[in-house]
C-alpha cells in the first residue's frame, strides 16, 4: 500500500524472455523523464538519390575502428554512420528549404 500511495502512476510491464528463463520487468513511474531523449533515427529513401550518398557512406563506414571484438566494431560503425547521417540529413533538409523558399519568392 505504501508503494502505491507514494507512486500512484507507477506501472510494471513484463518484457520478452528471449533466451533466459527469467522475465525482465520494466517499471514506469508515470513521471516524465528528466533525461533529454535523442530523436529516433529515421532513414529516408530520398537519401539514396542524393549526389555522392554512397561514396559518403563508404567513407564513414571504412574509417578506422580500433576495438577488440567484431561486435563492438559493428556497433561503432553503425553508431558513427547514424550520427553522421543524422547531421547530413539536417544539413540537406536545410539546404533544400533554403533553396525552395528562395525559388518561391515573387520576382519583380
- The per-residue pLDDT for range 6-22, each reduced to its tens digit, is 888 888 888 877 667 78
Q: Output the pTM of the full model.
A: 0.50
Domain range list for the chain: 45-103
- The per-residue pLDDT for range 53-107, each reduced to its tens digit, is 899 899 999 988 888 899 999 989 988 988 888 888 777 766 655 665 555 555 5
**Pairs from 49-58 (Cβ < 8 Å, separation ≥ 24):** 50/92, 56/84, 56/88, 57/81, 57/85
Amino acid at each position: 500500500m505504501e508503494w502505491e500511495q507514494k507512486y500512484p502512476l507507477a506501472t510494471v510491464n513484463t518484457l520478452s524472455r528471449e533466451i533466459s528463463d527469467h522475465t525482465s520487468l520494466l517499471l514506469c513511474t508515470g513521471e516524465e523523464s528528466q533525461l533529454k531523449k535523442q530523436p529516433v533515427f529515421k532513414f529516408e529513401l530520398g537519401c539514396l538519390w542524393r549526389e555522392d550518398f554512397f561514396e559518403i557512406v563508404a567513407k564513414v563506414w571504412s574509417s578506422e575502428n580500433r576495438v577488440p571484438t567484431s561486435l563492438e566494431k559493428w556497433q561503432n560503425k553503425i553508431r558513427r554512420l547514424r550520427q553522421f547521417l543524422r547531421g547530413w540529413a539536417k544539413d540537406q533538409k536545410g539546404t533544400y528549404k533554403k533553396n525552395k523558399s528562395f525559388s518561391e519568392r515573387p520576382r519583380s
